[in-house]
Amino acid sequence: MELGSIKTGSYVMLDGEPCRIVSYDKSKPGKHGSAKARIVGIGMFDNVKRGLVSPVSANVEVPIIDKRTGQVISLTPSSIQIMDMETFEVFETGMPEDATIKDKIQNGVEVEYWQAIGRNKIVRVKS
């Protein structure tokens, strides 16, 4: 996707990590160059702030984020075992960092998780 067509709130790959765009600035073309775009993104999995300055016509990678529903099968102090509600596939993922989500997770609870670049992240607990 071209850098000039990206909006704030969308996701792009910065330094090999899927990031949500929190800031997007575009400068005018000058006497000796093309218009530049400055974007700042926060990592989806590690919450690290990353930046990119590039011409507006440059291409950037856009991650494919699959939003799915699963049921918590078992809990350990460091990981959670989840069964996908569509494919019935069972996998393990790390404990979420957000304390409000972590407190609601119990056996049998349905959660919404996102899959991107082969990794999973629990986003919210369904009520």
pLDDT > 90 in the chain, percent: 69
- Which residue, chain included where needed, has tokens 């919210």? 124
| Cα dihedral: 50, 95, 63, 20 (round 10) | -40
> Is residue 77 located within the same domain as residue 50?
no
> What's the CATH code of the domain at 12?
2.30.30.30
State yes or no: pLDDT of 99 exceeds 90.
Answer: no
Mean local confidence (pLDDT), 37-47: 93
Q: pLDDT for 49-67, tens place per residue?
A: 999 999 999 999 999 999 9
Rounded to the nearest 5°, which phi and psi values hold at 81? -100, 125
Residue 11 is assigned to a structural domain of this protein: yes
Cross-sheet strand order for the sheet of 11-14: 11-14, 17-26, 36-43, 49-55
pLDDT over 90 (residue 102) = no
- Whether residues 34 and 72 fall in one domain: no
Task: Supply the pLDDT for residue 96.
Answer: 86
Domain that holds residue 34: 3-55
Place 114 in a pLDDT band, splitting at 50, 70 and 90: very high
**Whole-angstrom distance, CA of residue 127 vs CA of residue 109:** 8
Residues 65-75 pLDDT 10s: 999 999 999 99
d(CA 49, CA 116): 18
Q: Is residue 119 part of a domain?
A: yes
Q: Are 23 and 8 in contact (CB under 8 A)?
A: yes
Angle at 91 between CA 87 and CA 97, to 5 degrees: 120
Does residue 77 form part of some domain?
yes
pLDDT digits (tens, 9 = 90+) for 82-93: 999 999 999 999
Q: 70 with 121, same domain?
A: yes
- Do 79 and 121 reside in the same domain of the chain? yes
